[in-house]
Amino acid sequence: MRKLVSLNPTVQCIGVGSFLGAPDPHVGSTAALEQAGFSARLRDNGLDARWSEIPVAPDDALASVLLRLAEACAAVISRADRPLVIGGDHSLAAATWKGIGRALGSAPGLIWIDAHLDAHTPASSPSGNAHGMPLAALLGEGDPPLVDLPGPPLVPQRVVVIGARCFEPAETERLARLGVRVHPAAEVRERGFAAVFAEARWLMGNGPWGISLDLDAIDPAAAPGVATPVAGGIAVDELLAGLSGALRERNCVGLELMEFDPGRDSGGNTARVVLALADAVSRPDAATLRRWEEGFGARNYAPLPVVLARGEGAWLFDTEGRRYLDFMSAYSATSFGHGHPRLLAALAEQAGRLAVTSRAYFNDRLPRLLRRLTLLTGYDRALPVNTGAEAVETALKAARKWAYRVKGVPEGEAEIIACDGNFHGRSITIVGLSSEPQYRDGFSPFPPGLRRVPYGDAAALAAAITPNTAAFLVEPIQGEGGIVVPPAGYLAACAALCRRHGVLLIADEVQTGLGRTGRLLACQHEGVRPDAVILGKALGGGLLPVSAFLADEGVMGVFRPGDHGSTFGGNPLAAAVALAALDVLEEENLAARSAVLGEILLQRLRELATACPAIVAVRGRGLFAGIEVDPAQIDARRLAEALLARGVLSKETHGTVLRFAPPLVIRREDLEWGLDRIGETVKDWQGREPRAA
Ligand SMILES: Cc1ncc(COP(=O)(O)O)c(C=O)c1O
């Protein structure tokens, strides 16, 4: 046999807007589908896809259109590429598969998904339309202009029909006599499309095969834009899931998406289904996606082995549809869960109105956010940026400028003090403050004037403060550092020290803020009002990076126009989403919810620790918790992987701490479910060799 598969085939999309063999003969165009991004979907999924159209005139003879299509398909196969025919009346199928078979040298197997059997001959057809005949013709029976197209007939034993629910006895008899397997719609309903398709796929064996999908196989309530709709049919989601990745299969030599009739698709739903089908059939599987990320991306992350594709509330779903309880919330960024309707609505509405303007102009959303943020937190002013690291940089710049302009520190001498074990982001300056060797390694030199003191030790801070100290930057609870809660009174003592020495107390509440620990700000647990606060993560509603530096006029007043800025900082889209996020935070009372659910979380983790000596500490506040494990007994990374296998997403830090920060909107029963899984997993691990999987 000639070369029929290429390792990297081009998918040649061929649009044919012919309904010449149909009950209502007319011609149209499929170009609008391409304008809506048909072949782009295939390319986004890693297939080399090109678009072409076979123009059809109203006075064209069907036979001539069929010949042109058969030629086009044969030419594509001869280049070891794959045709994807978008029609057009299903009679066109008589050409596609003949052309493909001719170029291959033998007929491919064919999975025919259709409400109809299309197995009439002129003798049996009530209408006499070619429309009802292509499958019979491909099997060598019936109308000469269809049957006689050059190319081998299909082999009935390698033809499977799925979803038929409207046909005549003559068709059933013909297919039964020939030995074609038919799975009627009732069977598909009972077993599910994926199961039936998988069986058909198995029957195709290792030889070349293809799919001819008549869109009327789908429930017309979802895809009405077809020539002959029939009530009932396959649900779109089921079809998309069942066909997922089909076009990427090595021996899938062609695909037809037929009967798309834009004239009947008034709401555009059918076009959307066709585009979703383009995406589904070309979708790479999880292993491929991981290979791409590992092969095309920088190696600066080592993700847990799961490829997430969808989120809903506190639950995430992988590409295979398995669900996982989110006990991480993207490091608190998705505190409001995934797909919160209020936030999605704000995003969509604002994205449609105005997204980005830069700060060269006022916009009508940012002022609302600034007012809201300052009223909520009690600071005079807010400076919006995008990521947390930018907000920390903003704080450091503000502190230095304040030291020179207000405190009177000699220019170039200002010092910033941070804590051992801190995490404030990844810029050069910020990692210059870090005590973590890996975060610093290879990135020196760092700016001068950066110092560190042990976390939780107010006396150490007192000893480190000099007349040149501008600010003390501190997390109220260290997150990345291992959910480290400082001793009671620490923050208050630091605040008093800073006040006494004229040093700014800057709280990095990027992770702990906005209700995460059971109060709006974690500093409030100690009644501390820092001189400045940094917010991020949840401020973007889990949809966009939105962060802010907040301070009173005495500090923020050091910035003049041009001193500092960011193109995207404070854009209207970010501001609208952040406003909605603050609405949700307040209206759903999420800080209080975190306090209540956090009690359950910590209580149950403590109980688990009592039963499991491998857990050496349980720490946290609100829905922000961590367990520290004895590395001699349990490897935290392996534990995170074992938890993943049980459907809970967590993340280790520093090899010994597993952190848990579920969305603040998590339902109590889901939280308890996750805790049950954690309990099982840890207990399962007891006594096992730590590095064994
Ligand atoms: C306390 C704290 N500050 C700052 C950052 C940096 O935020 P981003 O990753 O958005 O730059 C983080 C990120 O984890 C953080 O936890």
Site to probe by mutation for ligand 1, drawn from 427, 537, 544, 654 as the one with most ligand atoms within 8 Å of Cβ, is 537
Residues 6+ apart with CB under 8 A from 277: 213, 239, 240, 243, 257
Based on the residue annotation, tell me whether 148 is a catalytic residue of this protein.
Answer: no
Distance (angstroms) between ligand 1 centre and the Cα of 213 equals 48
Q: Residue 688 has what pLDDT?
A: 65
Q: How far apart are CA 68 and CA 81, in angstroms?
A: 18
Site to probe by mutation for ligand 1, drawn from 332, 473, 511 as the one with most ligand atoms within 8 Å of Cβ, is 511
Residue for token pair 């499309």: 193
In tens, the pLDDT along 88-123 reads 999 999 999 999 999 999 999 999 999 999 999 999
Strands, sheet with 547-551, edge to edge from the N-terminal-most edge strand: 381-385, 547-551, 532-535, 504-508, 469-474, 415-419, 450-453
| Full-model pTM | 0.91
Q: Residue 1 has what pLDDT?
A: 43
Nearest CA to ligand 1 atom 3: 424
Distance (angstroms) between ligand 1 centre and the Cα of 392 equals 8
Based on the residue annotation, tell me whether 24 is a catalytic residue of this protein.
Answer: no
Ligand 1 site, CB within 6 A: 331, 387-389, 392, 423-425, 475, 479-480, 508, 510-511, 536
Q: How would DSSP label each residue in 552-606?
A: -HHHHTT--TTSS--SSTT-HHHHHHHHHHHHHHHHTTHHHHHHHHHHHHHHHHH
Structure tokens at 513: 């803020």
Q: How far apart are CA 79 and CA 288, in angstroms?
A: 25
Q: Residue 7 has what pLDDT?
A: 56
Q: Does the domain made of 296-338+590-685 have the CATH classification 3.40.190.10?
A: no
H or E stretch covering 549: strand 547-551
Could you say which of 3.40.50.1360, 3.40.800.10, 3.40.50.620, 3.40.250.10 is the CATH number of the domain covering 10-284? 3.40.800.10
Q: How far apart are CA 666 and CA 653, in angstroms?
A: 23
Distance (angstroms) between ligand 1 centre and the Cα of 384 equals 15
Based on the residue annotation, tell me whether 537 is a catalytic residue of this protein.
Answer: yes
Structure tokens at 654: 């520093």
Nearest CA to ligand 1 atom 4: 424
Q: Residue 9 has what pLDDT?
A: 79
User: Could you state, in chain order, the average pLDDT of each consecutive group of 10 residues for the chain (693 residues)?
Assistant: 58 96 91 96 96 96 96 97 96 98 98 98 92 97 93 98 96 98 97 97 96 97 92 96 95 97 92 98 96 95 96 97 97 98 98 97 98 98 98 98 98 98 98 97 98 98 98 98 97 98 98 98 98 98 98 98 97 98 98 98 97 95 97 92 97 94 98 97 74 43
Q: Residue 689 has what pLDDT?
A: 52
What is the biggest distance separating any 2 CA atoms in the chain, rounded to whole angstroms?
A: 102
Q: Is there a common fold for 10-284 and 363-587?
A: no
- Among residues 193, 260, 423, 549, which one is catalytic? 423
Q: How far apart are CA 98 and CA 89, in angstroms?
A: 16
Write the DSSP symbol of residue 156.
Answer: G
Q: Residue 266 has what pLDDT?
A: 86
What are the extents of the domains in the chain? 10-284, 296-338+590-685, 363-587
Nearest one of 534, 555, 561 to 380, comparing CA atoms: 555
Structure tokens at 466: 């000099």
> Are residues 205 and 246 in contact, defined by beta-carbon separation less than 8 angstroms?
no
> Could you name the CATH architecture of 363-587?
3-Layer(aba) Sandwich (3.40)
In tens, the pLDDT along 241-278 reads 999 999 999 999 999 999 999 999 988 999 999 999 99
